[in-house]
């Protein structure tokens, strides 16, 4: 059985909500800097109030609802993850460090061998 993806089409009202949310964020930043003579309490209050309004407006749009649904689904999936125990995490970290040291030694030996072959045997520069 084939399943098809259903794509929602943004309505004009939805686009207006997104535009209003963006305008509120820009307005929040402008208000923050324009209200600097009023003091930090007024500045931060205007900034936070406008940002909260932008979040509310965005949350009422279709994209906002989809974003919230995505967050819920993501959190549900994170709860399903089987996290390693402390002992397992330490063991895996030590394995990675050991592998890195072994690879570093291997690459160093390979580099020195190639250097010896080219410079000493083939070119004879170090005699």
How is the chain split among helix, strand and coil, in percent rounded to 5? 80, 0, 20
pLDDT of residue 9: 59
Retrieve residue 24's tokens. 């509120």
pLDDT of residue 66: 93
Q: How far apart are CA 127 and CA 123, in angstroms?
A: 10
Retrieve residue 2's tokens. 């084939």
pLDDT of residue 120: 87
Neighbours of 65 (CB within 10 A): 14
Q: List the chain domain ranges.
A: 11-81, 83-127
pTM over 0.85: no
pLDDT tens digits in sequence order for the chain, 127 residues long: 555 565 555 688 889 999 999 999 999 999 999 999 999 999 999 999 999 999 999 999 999 999 999 999 999 999 999 999 999 999 999 999 999 999 999 999 999 999 999 998 888 786 5
Q: How far apart are CA 97 and CA 77, in angstroms?
A: 30
pLDDT of residue 5: 63
pLDDT of residue 122: 86
Neighbours of 4 (CB within 10 A): 5
pLDDT of residue 11: 83
């Amino acid at each position: 059985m084939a399943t098809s993806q259903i794509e929602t089409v943004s309505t004009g009202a939805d686009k207006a909500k997104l535009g209003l949310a963006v305008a509120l964020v820009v307005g929040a930043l402008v208000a923050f800097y324009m209200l600097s003579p009023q003091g930090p309490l007024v500045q931060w209050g205007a900034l936070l109030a406008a940002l909260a309004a932008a979040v509310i407006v965005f949350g009422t749009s279709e994209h906002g609802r989809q974003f919230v649904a995505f967050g819920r689904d993501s959190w549900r999936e994170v709860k399903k993850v089987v996290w390693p125990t402390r002992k397992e995490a330490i063991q895996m970290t030590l394995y990675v460090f050991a592998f890195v040291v072994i690879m570093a030694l291997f690459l160093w030996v390979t580099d020195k061998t190639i250097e010896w072959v080219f410079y000493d045997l083939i070119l004879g520069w170090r005699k």
